[in-house]
């Protein structure tokens, strides 16, 4: 199972002072040295943490970049220029602290389909950040998505066997209709092992808990620790 490390909150700390540090590029280097298989960033419309210059700098470093984005013309244009390894379409609300749930594809099929087509024209694979909901996952497939990233936030909040069963069932369903399956949101060293045991999941994208651990043990060690746990799923 691969590990994508989200470094948004390195930029959150930097933007708190509008300073030059901490450096997100250095954070990405340390994450890769710790075993990260890719770097994830969410370029929000309000630019609250990651900035355009960060995306370009990370691309220039040659990182396997997972570009989280809203389905807007601006973001499609940026993605088409940067050419990340994959784009993940996510919902975005200006007042939310963090992403609160999966993208409601069913309510905006035409917009999502058009966005995916435009990204595919640039040979960029597309993932949909999705709740563990059969209809939303099917809608993602119908719109042409290549992957779904299952929202694990509900599991992270409650961590019950039932939530694991739901994620397992939806991962199996997504895989059965030809979608690659990733997952993420709220995962920590305390709750990740149950998710690691879901065989259809190819990659986890984890950010806040790794950055939080890094305050005490450093990014490289925090990533290495998480990567080790991901290797225990067999």
Residue of 42, 49, 63, 151 marked catalytic: 42
Give tens-digit pLDDT for 141-166. 999 999 999 999 999 988 888 999 99
Residue of 9, 30, 63, 68 marked catalytic: 68
Residue of 9, 49, 63, 185 marked catalytic: 185
- State the average pLDDT over residues 26-31: 97
Q: What's the pTM?
A: 0.91
Q: How far apart are CA 9 and CA 11, in angstroms?
A: 5
71 alpha-carbon distance from chain centroid: 15
Determine whether 68 is an active site residue: yes
Q: Which domains does the chain have, with CATH numbers?
A: 2-233 (3.20.20.70)
CA distances from 154 to 136, 159, 179, 186, 217 (A): 16, 8, 22, 9, 27
Q: Which two tokens stand for residue 195?
A: 């998710």
Determine whether 151 is an active site residue: no
Q: How far apart are CA 97 and CA 99, in angstroms?
A: 7
Residue pointed to by tokens 């490289």: 220
Give tens-digit pLDDT for 186-208. 999 999 999 999 999 999 999 99
pLDDT of residue 232: 78
- State the average pLDDT over residues 2-31: 94
């Amino acid at each position: 199972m691969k590990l994508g490390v989200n470094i948004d909150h390195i930029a959150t700390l930097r933007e708190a002072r509008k300073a030059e540090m901490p450096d997100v590029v250095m954070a990405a280097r340390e994450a890769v040295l710790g075993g990260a298989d890719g770097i994830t960033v969410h370029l929000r419309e309000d630019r609250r943490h990651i900035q355009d210059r960060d995306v370009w700098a990370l691309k220039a470093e040659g990182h396997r970049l997972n570009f989280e984005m809203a389905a807007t013309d601006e973001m499609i244009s940026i993605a088409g220029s940067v050419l990340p390894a994959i784009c993940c379409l996510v919902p975005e609300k200006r007042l939310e602290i963090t992403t609160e749930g999966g993208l409601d594809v069913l309510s905006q099929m035409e917009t999502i389909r058009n966005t995916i087509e435009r990204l595919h024209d640039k040979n960029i694979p597309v993932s949909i950040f999705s709740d563990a909901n059969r209809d939303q996952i099917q809608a993602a497939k119908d719109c042409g998505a290549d992957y779904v990233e299952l929202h694990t936030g509900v599991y992270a909040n409650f961590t019950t066997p039932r939530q694991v069963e739901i994620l397992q069932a939806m991962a199996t369903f997504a895989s059965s209709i030809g979608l690659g399956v990733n997952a993420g949101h709220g995962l920590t060293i305390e709750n990740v092992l149950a998710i690691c045991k879901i065989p259809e999941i190819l990659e986890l994208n984890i950010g806040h808990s790794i950055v939080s651990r890094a305050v005490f043990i450093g990014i490289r060690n925090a990533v290495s620790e998480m990567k080790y746990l991901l290797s225990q799923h067999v």
